[in-house]
Amino acid sequence: MKIALIGYGKMGKTIERIALERGHEIVSVIDVDNLDDFESAAFKSADVAIEFTVPQVALSNYRRAFASGVAVVSGTTGWLEELPALKKEIEEGGKTLFWSSNFSIGVNIFMAVNKHLAAIMNQFPNYNVEMTEVHHTQKLDAPSGTAITLAEGIFENLDRKSAWAKETETKPTEMAIKSIREGQVPGIHTIRYESEVDSIEITHDAKSREGFALGAVVAAEFTAGKKGFLGMQDLLKF
């Protein structure tokens, strides 16, 4: 499969290595200094472009790839307020975007466990819930996209919570998400239910970027030849 890379930081380089190890060809690499290459023959030859950049340019990158007829797999977060309009644009225009706040298989298992636990805890109103997420200092958005996705999974299953709040909840229907930025931490997400008598805690602790990068390449393999807005639920089926 022919893959283009949009963004060539640490994640882009890890994705490149894993894609090559899996027998794919990298036909184009686009970064801040060669944006005109979106119109190049090399970029247009790609089956899929994998995009990991920053929220300020993500949507522009998607649209430039779409204009060149290339499907996109992206893990850039921090722009989710634009998601409903973008989904409509993709469906109406016959474009392809596989987007996920987190491509790690382990994180997506954790997301499924999170939903199941929230459904159980819905029966026990004496437990309050909060979340803490820890990432490296280069991560710009807070809370993380993964934390927001986890929060949405809780709200779907826990009737007493319906919105998240940064750091501290201000009313009973909110869930606090505490964000910590330190060192080179790839990502830690902890969900804690606490009552007066005990606490219940689940955590996912990423050891490196490898899991995220592998998941992105697997998603690209899945996305090639498909249309519409896709996500990890389409790939993993749980």
139, 161, 189, 204: the catalytic one is 139
In the predicted model, is pLDDT for residue 4 greater than 80? yes
Share the mean pLDDT of the chain: 95
Per-residue model confidence as pLDDT tens digits over 60-118: 999 999 999 999 999 998 898 999 999 999 999 999 999 998 899 999 999 999 999 99
Mark whether 135 is an active-site residue: yes
The answer to whether the CB of 235 falls within 8 A of the CB of 222 is yes
Which pLDDT score, from 0 to 100, does residue 208 have?
87
- The mean pLDDT value for 147-155 works out to 96
Question: Which residues face 58 on adjacent strands?
Answer: none
**CB atoms inside a 10 Å sphere around CB 50:** 28
Q: Which domains does the chain have, with CATH numbers?
A: 2-103+210-236 (3.40.50.720), 105-205 (3.30.360.10)
SS3 104: coil
In the predicted model, is pLDDT for residue 140 greater than 90? no
Query: Which of 237, 238, 226, 236 minimizes the C-alpha distance to 73?
Result: 226
- The mean pLDDT value for 12-20 works out to 96
- The mean pLDDT value for 156-184 works out to 96
pTM of the model: 0.79
Which pLDDT score, from 0 to 100, does residue 193 have?
98
Write out the H or E segment, with its range, that includes residue 128.
strand 128-135
In the predicted model, is pLDDT for residue 238 greater than 80? no
87, 95, 115, 135: the catalytic one is 135
| Residues 6 or more apart in contact with residue 84 via CB below 8 angstroms | none
